Copies of this chain bind each other. A is one copy, B any other.
Amino acid sequence: MTTALSPQQTITDITTLRALRDEAWASILQNAPWARFVMAGDYDRRFYGIYLTETFHYVKHNPKHQALVAVQATGQLWSYYRFCYEHAQEETGHEMMAFNDLINLGLTSDSVTLPPPHPATEVFIGYLYRVSTEGNPLRRLGYSFWAEDSYGYIGNLMKKITQQLALEARHTTFLVSHANIDEKHAEDVDKAIVQNCKKPDDWASLAEVMQTSLRLQSAMLDAVLEEYQALKANASDRYRFLNGGADT
């Protein structure tokens, strides 16, 4: 399920962590149904709309569980706690980028009531709260490590989807603008990892969270694909609100 480290393989630096991240992304891009579907190019804007809906839901919680790391911590890692609060501040309201992108797609109006998070999204959110409030307080950095630095991995997917759906800047503020904001974040995250990870468990639990949270986001994206197919087949009502202006 996760790329297991062999007993001999112990993580002790960020370079090994990067290699594991490369490996995890490579596996997803090659095998995940959603990734292959994106590159195959047979979809309309509702597919992207479902993605934005679920993204809105999980992104809303990012500052919350980020801050909870420091709220619940009992140790003395003050510079790390400051990182957590600062990062929470910077992530506040980012779900509105996804929401505005969704509205700008023209499939629905801004007075829409979105469906609640998909179960796959709730699983993702629930896991992030858990790693932020239990266990090694450094391990949530494993989520930030890929989430703030994903542009390099999904660049081709974004190019494809942008062409396919004739997307403009006002449809991709979450993915694109975010990429710029995240550049600074990614540096901060790397610095926080290097400064704070000292014990083997720090690295190991961080790597575990990196792999697991990336897998859960991929599962969320597979659910987006399934729901898109269900919507097209008229087999589910969950995202019917996106049928407004879709070329069905």
CB distance from A69 to the nearest CB of B (A): 10
Chain B's closest residue to A212 (CB) is: B119
Assuming the contacts A67-B88, A119-B212, A235-B7, asked whether A1 and B226 have C-beta atoms less than 8 A apart, the reply is yes
Bound form: Cα–Cα A223–B211 in Å: 14
Are B78 and A70 interface neighbours, CB within 8 A?
no
**A169 interface contact, C-beta 8 A:** no
Given the known inter-chain contacts A123-B216, A212-B123, please indicate yes or no for A89 contacting B89, CB distance below 8 A: yes
- The binding surface of chain A is classed by DSSP as helix
Cross-interface CB contact of A122 among B7, B86, B127, B230, cutoff 8 Å: B127
Q: Does A120 contact B (CB under 8 A)?
A: yes
Stretch in contact with the other chain, from A43-51, A129-137, A173-181: A129-137
Q: Once bound together, how far apart are the Cα atoms of A115 and B4, in whole Å?
A: 15
A241 at the B interface (CB under 8 A): no
Q: Which of A89-143 contact B (CB under 8 A)?
A: 89, 92-93, 96, 116, 119-120, 122-123, 125-131, 135
Do A211 and B119 form a contact, CB below 8 Å, given A63-B81, A78-B92? Answer: yes
Q: How far is the CB of A113 from chain B (nearest CB, A)?
A: 13
Residues of B with C-beta under 8 A to A18: none
Q: Is the pair B81, A70 in contact by a Cβ cutoff of 8 Å?
A: no
Residues from chain B with a CB closer than 8 A to the CB of A236 are 4-7
14 example contacts (A-B, Cβ-Cβ < 8 A) are as follows: A1-B219, A1-B223, A5-B236, A64-B70, A67-B70, A67-B88, A68-B71, A70-B92, A78-B93, A82-B89, A116-B135, A119-B209, A122-B131, A129-B129
